[in-house]
Structure 1
Amino acid sequence: MKRITSSVLALAIALGATASFAGGPVVIEEEGQPEVIAETPRSGWIVPVVVGLVLICALACGSDDDEQVRR
């Protein structure tokens, strides 16, 4: 009886150990983040020029809110 029990126990340990190491170790390497370099904007002058033109036009045109009396 002891011989059968020890054989079954040894077989169970051998099969259990092989199944637990079946996949091998999992090694996860973290990759570095890619470096993003922003280029200088080509149209960096357009927005200030457009805003400036709108302000100059608003000042030059003025407002005509005066009501004129019709006779």
Structure 2
Amino acid sequence: MGALTLRIVREKGRILEDTMKKLALAAVLTVVATGAFAGGYVQPVIDPIIVVEDTSSSAGGILVPILALILIAAAVAANN
């Protein structure tokens, strides 16, 4: 073989080597990217909102004193 033929073979070898390196890099990146999505979508957990309402009656705390007055009036009326 001549010097020109050897140079052409070496150049084709370098092109082939560069192409193989690019393919290997693409394969590695594909495997890494696939692993990142392997778990799938997981719906986030949201804590429930707790609402605390005041449970006071509409009487505004007047019911107990009125009942006490009625009982006192009944006791006084029973003693007469």
TM-score (norm 2): 0.41
Q: Which has the higher helix share?
A: 2
Bigger Rg, structure 1 or 2: 2
